[in-house]
Structure 1
């Protein structure tokens, strides 16, 4: 069996980070909203104000948005890893970019949860830049 490129291993770690983010958001959301909402249909008419997410605390709402943001970022990072792998373009640069992406995304969670402005935005941009560099390394 061919060993996975380091970028693919880091993609696996990023996927595990996503699972952790789901748990970090889901546990307090379930405690705050209760099982009637979290295990129900979440139909707007069943919730005062029409949006169950408006009933969460500020921090839980931030964890929810950070989780959704990572789903979005993970799509591009997955594409970058796939391109690097398929193109046989794995290098010290792409490995460093993959580690940079993962570190930025790990730090992004507390930065978003605790409102570390503007650091949250800088970490987001760093992860995106690392991803773009990987894509360019594979294409050019």
Structure 2
């Protein structure tokens, strides 16, 4: 499997881990009666700060994963894999791994710096595929 696809598969696993990291405390805090229901109304109590951060980090990964998946598809189907795209794919994965604790711990401005590294790694892959 090309390195970029391996990184994408690992990013998918990371997304699943993030879902679990959010869902378990959310179910405890809000109760399964609420979380398994239709959620037509706001919960009676808000999520804790940490659980809210885990939810936002998870949602942010979904957003970043869309662009990263696009980059991997362009590189893979275009036959443009190179040392640059492979390195960028691993940098993206590393940034996403660091992003979760940085967000959960409220590490300002490092969370944004880490996000930027992942974003520019994705941008690098797309541009490298077009050159």
TM range (shorter): over 0.9
Structure 2 equivalent of residue 122 of structure 1: 113
Distance in 2 between residues matched to 1:101 and 1:32, nearest whole Å: 32
Alignment of 1:1-140 (within 5 A): 4-44=1-41, 47-48=43-44, 55-140=46-131
What is the TM-score of this pair, normalised by structure 1?
A: 0.91
Q: Judge conservation of contact 2:30–2:43 (CA < 8 Å) in 1.
A: no
Query: After the TM superposition, which parts of structure 1 deviate over 2 Å for at least 4 consecutive aligned residues?
Result: none
Structure label with greater radius of gyration: 1
Q: TM-score, normalised by structure 2?
A: 0.97
| Distance in 1 (alpha carbons) for counterparts of 2:70 and 2:85 | 13
Q: How many residues were matched structurally?
A: 131
Unaligned runs of 5+ in 1: 49-53
Q: Where does structure 2 lack aligned partners over 5 or more consecutive residues?
A: none
